[in-house]
Structure 1
Amino acid sequence: MSLALGQVPQDAKQSVGQKLATLDQQVAQAYGQWHSKEQSSEEALGQLNQQRSETIRGIGEDLKNAGAEQPQDMQSMAQCQMMQDQAAAEGGDQGQGAQQGPKAEDFVNIEDVQPNASKEADPGGSFETKCGNNENEHFNSDNVIAAPGVLNGAHHVHDYVGNEDTNAQSSDESLAAAGTTCAKGDQSTHYWPVIRSLDGNEDQRGAVQEGDVAEQQGGDQAGGDQGDQAGDQAANDVNANSVTEDDQGQDAGLDQGQDQGQVEGQDAGVDQGQEQPPAEDQGQDAGVDQGQDQGQEQPPAEDQGQDAGVDQGQDQGQEQPPAEDQGQGQDQGQDQGQDQGQDQGQGEGEDQVGGGEGAEAQPGDGGANDLNVGSILKPDATIKLTSGGADQVTEMPRFLRIITGDAKAFTNGDENANASWSCEGFEDRQLKDKYPICPEGKKMIRTFKFQNCWDGQNTDSGNHRDHMEFSDDQGNCPEGFQNIPQVQQTIKYDIPQENLVNADTPFAVDSFPEQLHNPITDHSDFINVMPEDLMKTAVDCINQDKEC
């Protein structure tokens, strides 16, 4: 069970954050030693459990000394086990680097699906924000909400529209100062996993390149303001197997067979009873491994870097010192020693981790080495704010962060899944766990409807979910929550006809490797950076039944 600490006292945030980094590094080290066959699984686990026990005990002491209550049974969170990798079991032995999933049975002809949804729009007005279709090719494999400060934190590539600054290092301040692709001065951020045509190409746009890491070596103190705001949440959760950050509301936190703690909205701790899946970026001397557990979310950037801080590029086969002893401005001497402490001011209005198509990717780069293969398809996006069924809505706060869907729903279960797939002309037939095969000339559609009930206090929460809820069918919010505009993203794609005719698996959403590109894992992210006057205009349009 995932146990939230609630609020970490200010006096303990830095030390707890450092120990969160240590937990990440310990898991990565153990995985590297096992994957490189330097240790047996039993040896690696024995050492890992001992290390984790000591670190978790230290977290408890930090909380106690700062006057906070320790979660019960903290020491039980130190124990880890391994079992067969579900990705390999489901996907079969396809060879190193081969794409695993989707399968032919993940697709269905939309004409064979019975109507199951209403075509009626929400009552009230709406406000459309025109943000383009990522014509400037803003791609990266970061996730600033779920994994602030972590390069390639998502392990798959995102399309971005809106705010031009958005990457792992973004802060409220940098987002507010950035340009935007949206009209009317809307600086909000919208991002979702790319859709790829499964044509065999290795489209590396957005994948982490060697130069991206090198440019960030020895950067300024990472995180800064972003660590104060979004990073505080990373120190607020304790997971059943680890002290965690973002498990996207998965209470049980049992990532079945997934690599440990991949971040985009999942259990970032060590999964009980799970064997770590093979990952090229662990335990190798590639120098781009971020020191995380196959995408495990790192603590806030301020706790990782401290100017020339925690070296995230360490050889995973070697023991790493405690986080307190890292971050001293010196290279740890492993691999290429790529420092995660990046210049907060770098890259406003530009993609910090984008790469040119065809450039050689590094292991665990968000592209081919994370089993995301194929040409990236261009989105045709429509973004609206609606009533979400409510009679009246109130303004959402600036810098509100919302994640909808579950990037690990294939292994987590569908509790937080919110995928919705369909075709033009068949919008009354919505699919959750299947991809649609659309008739010729009809575009494939993804639809995201975000949580529209806000707790009235927080712009984020420890698991990035608790501050938001969905309204009921009548538009009513749970007690303690208030109606805000509902963000609705409708994204259309032209699927190459030759794919539909000649391939059993014509396209797929980018995903974590062990999620096998299953359609149920679809998800999207939003950060509200609308100027307050524009947000008021949007709310007035909705409440006055206008179409703006």
Structure 2
Amino acid sequence: MLGGGGLVAANVYASATEGGFGESAQQSNPSGSDQLPASGTVTIDCPDVGQKLTNVPSAAKSQVDAELATLDQQITEAYTRLAATRQAQANDGNYVQNAILGPLKDKRTDVMGRIKADYQQVGGTAPDSIDGLANCTAMTADPAQNASGSQGDNGQQSTGGQATGGQASGGQATGGPVASDFVDITTVAPNVPAKPDTTRDASTGTFTTLCGANANGNHNTDNVIVAPGVANGAHHLHDYVGNQKVDAFSSNDTFLQGGTSCENKDDLSAYYWPVVRVQDGTQDFDQNADGGGKEGNVGKILVAKQAQIEYVGSPTGKVVAMPQFLRIITGDAKAFTNGPGNANAHWSCTGFENKVQLTDKYPICPQGSDVVRTFAFQSCWDGQNIDSANHRTHVAFADANGNCAGGFKAIPQLTMRLVYSVPQPVIQNGQVKNAYAVDGFPEQLHKPITDHDDFISVMTGNLMNQVVDCINSGRDCGAGAGEQPQDTPSPSPDASSGGSAGADPGNSGGEQSAQPPTTSPGTAPSGDGGGVGGDYDDHESATPKVSASPKVSASPKVSASPKAYATPSSAGTDAAVQPQNGSDDEPSSGSGAAVGTQTPSAGGDAPSAGSQTEPQAVTGGLAETGTHLWPAAAGTVLMILGLVFLLRTRRRF
């Protein structure tokens, strides 16, 4: 009995302190100093002031842009303080409000007052749309679930007490991502709907430009579109291809002198996106720099093995030329706190692109398959402006039929497809090893839904007119046009790693289409930015197309509304993550990681993804519990046998 009791006690103690069953917050954050306090605060949610400013006087634009950058810097500083004061928060339940959120509100109030003054100084009317936006809130999670990084109350995800900067054991960044940000793509139900038919007037041509994948390491943490003139305005690192002189201080004149990495030297356009890092403990060149390690963006930078850039047409009519210096941002770098309305990046794996597209999950691809990021930019332009105050309302997505509403004009739609060789993440005991993630604002916790892409159109030598003519006439033009993509079958989980990386999933149809936004272009309700979906297009892939007639697209389409294929984590409907190759855990039957039930965004109804199951947690499942508790079971048997032996001995004597 004593021996059995000892086994039970030892096993209960081990289960309470090790990963997995009964895991504690201390173990989920091995660094020990950043564990989540009782309040469960994981990050700071501040209203996005910039999205409310839709009509900034041109004379006040530079001052307003600088003030908006100051607001971002204030949030970063507040989040850094949040992450560095976990012990104080544990000792004082009011610490977050009194020491972090209260002072932040005061600072934001001052900035918004200056923004109003900037309007008035140039004869404008102070915007009332930003009234009441100074107050930020603490995004919380259920402390009892922090250990596994699972969904907490309010539908938010716990970070297990993760803070900004540095790394925990095993190379995992202490600012995220967490296990629930990943999903085994082989367990997700197909969610890519069939594409619609094109009309007789459709512009079905394509124009491909080859600009490389930033092998020369052209990086900075600026964002000349959102925060011109402000160093580190993005607070995260970008890859740049195309124009080679793009930073916070660039101008239109600079772009014309910048040179290009594109094969066509008349394409001086700037294409840039957040870098992807693998969190394997490796530090990169910016480990001690602003926008890098100082702001939680840690790990080895991965260069895309393929960066395919293509312009495609409209399914309902001809396109017109983009104006020179047109700026477009697709996706939302703050979507984790803003919500999914403007999210528009898609994640998949080679061999699965015409079956599964994800917005709020990083896919875990099987052996022989590569990670794919896909973007389809807005393809409707207001016909007048190269930018707008909130960088959204001058462009929009097409409606359900592919039409541009409200007087907007169809322009060539920029599509991009980035392919990465990513070491396969492994989920063990509710923790993710070998995690990968995009760079982002630190308070966004490296969520996949925050992925985004930026573009400045700078074509010279009549190149844009050539692009338009090619697309409208139904031809395949540009570098690599008309090449036949490889036909790659879907890899199986045990497929050889020598599969064709980056090949498209074949020409068998089933291409991805889009649901439209219901918001009319040119309006900006609640930061919606004139649309929340991608366009219906006959050619939304960035890969070269087959030039046979009738045209057959060789790669999947990018969906539109809602742009989040799986409901964003902020909505509390994360898909379950199944243990991967190398995991000690076996997946239990019936717990497939199908994408949760779609929640329509403001942009329109979600397309049905078929019968789907609610997400199932993997930590604490029966198989896992049995693995951890077999010593306790053995001890219990010994205790029972000892008791029986004592009773029989008592009767005998």
TM over 0.5: yes
CA distance in 1, matches of 2:438, 2:64: 35
Q: Is the 2:65–2:228 Cα contact (8 Å) retained in structure 1? A: no
Q: What letter corresponds to residue 457 of structure 1 in structure 2?
A: Q
Q: Shift in Å at residue 116 of structure 1?
A: 2.2
Q: Is the 2:69–2:227 Cα contact (8 Å) retained in structure 1? A: no
Q: What letter corresponds to residue 366 of structure 1 in structure 2?
A: G
Per the alignment, residue 167 of structure 1 pairs with 247
Confirm or deny that 1:372 pairs with 2:427. Answer: no
Distance 1:106 1:169, change over 3 A: same
Secondary structure of 2:229's counterpart equals: coil
Per the alignment, residue 519 of structure 1 pairs with 448
Distance 1:73 1:140, change over 3 A: closer
- 2:276 pairs with one of 195, 207, 213: 195
Unaligned runs of at least 5 residues, structure 1: 208-359
Give the 5 Å matches for 1:423-462. Answer: 423-428=349-354, 429-462=356-389
Q: What letter corresponds to residue 422 of structure 2 in structure 1?
A: I
Per the alignment, residue 135 of structure 2 pairs with 80
TM-score, normalised via structure 1 length: 0.63
CA distance in 1, matches of 2:106, 2:288: 35
Q: Is the 1:57–1:75 Cα contact (8 Å) retained in structure 2? A: no
Confirm or deny that 1:90 pairs with 2:158. Answer: yes
- 1:488 pairs with one of 408, 415, 418: 415
Per the alignment, residue 182 of structure 1 pairs with 262
Q: What letter corresponds to residue 112 of structure 1 in structure 2?
A: T
Distance 1:53 1:433, change over 3 A: closer
Superposed CA deviations along residues 192-216 of structure 1, whole A, max 9, x for unmatched, are 1111222111112xx3xxxxxxxxx
Report percent identity of matched pairs.
Answer: 47
Confirm or deny that 1:528 pairs with 2:457. Answer: yes
Distance 1:125 1:368, change over 3 A: same
Give the 5 Å matches for 1:146-165. Answer: 146-165=226-245
Distance 1:32 1:531, change over 3 A: same
Q: Shift in Å at residue 72 of structure 1?
A: 3.3
Superposed CA deviations along residues 213-239 of structure 1, whole A, max 9, x for unmatched, are xxxxxxxxxxxxxxxxxxxxxxxxxxx
CA distance in 2, matches of 1:413, 1:533: 40
Distance 1:14 1:491, change over 3 A: closer
Distance 1:512 1:60, change over 3 A: closer
Superposed CA deviations along residues 268-314 of structure 1, whole A, max 9, x for unmatched, are xxxxxxxxxxxxxxxxxxxxxxxxxxxxxxxxxxxxxxxxxxxxxxx
CA distance in 2, matches of 1:366, 1:26: 14
Per the alignment, residue 607 of structure 2 pairs with none
Give the 5 Å matches for 1:501-520. Answer: 504-520=433-449
Confirm or deny that 1:111 pairs with 2:186. Answer: yes
Q: Is the 2:54–2:390 Cα contact (8 Å) retained in structure 1? A: no
Q: What letter corresponds to residue 133 of structure 1 in structure 2?
A: A
- 4+ aligned runs moved over 3 Å, structure 1: 12-37, 39-67, 72-77, 79-89, 118-123, 499-506
Distance 1:384 1:201, change over 3 A: same
- 1:71 pairs with one of 89, 102, 127: 127
Give the 5 Å matches for 1:307-326. Answer: none
Q: Is the 1:9–1:63 Cα contact (8 Å) retained in structure 2? A: no
Q: Shift in Å at residue 473 of structure 1?
A: 3.3
Q: What letter corresponds to residue 475 of structure 1 in structure 2?
A: G
Q: What letter corresponds to residue 328 of structure 2 in structure 1?
A: I
Secondary structure of 2:336's counterpart equals: helix
CA distance in 1, matches of 2:101, 2:179: 37
- 1:472 pairs with one of 399, 409, 412: 399
Secondary structure of 1:475's counterpart equals: coil
**Structure of greater Rg:** 2
Unaligned runs of at least 5 residues, structure 2: 1-46, 86-94, 150-156, 168-172, 478-653
Secondary structure of 2:158's counterpart equals: helix
Distance 1:114 1:165, change over 3 A: same
Q: Shift in Å at residue 410 of structure 1?
A: 1.6
Give the 5 Å matches for 1:259-408. Answer: 361-362=288-289, 365-379=290-304, 380-408=306-334
Q: Is the 1:202–1:367 Cα contact (8 Å) retained in structure 2? A: no
Q: RMSD across aligned C-alpha pairs, in angstroms?
A: 3.5
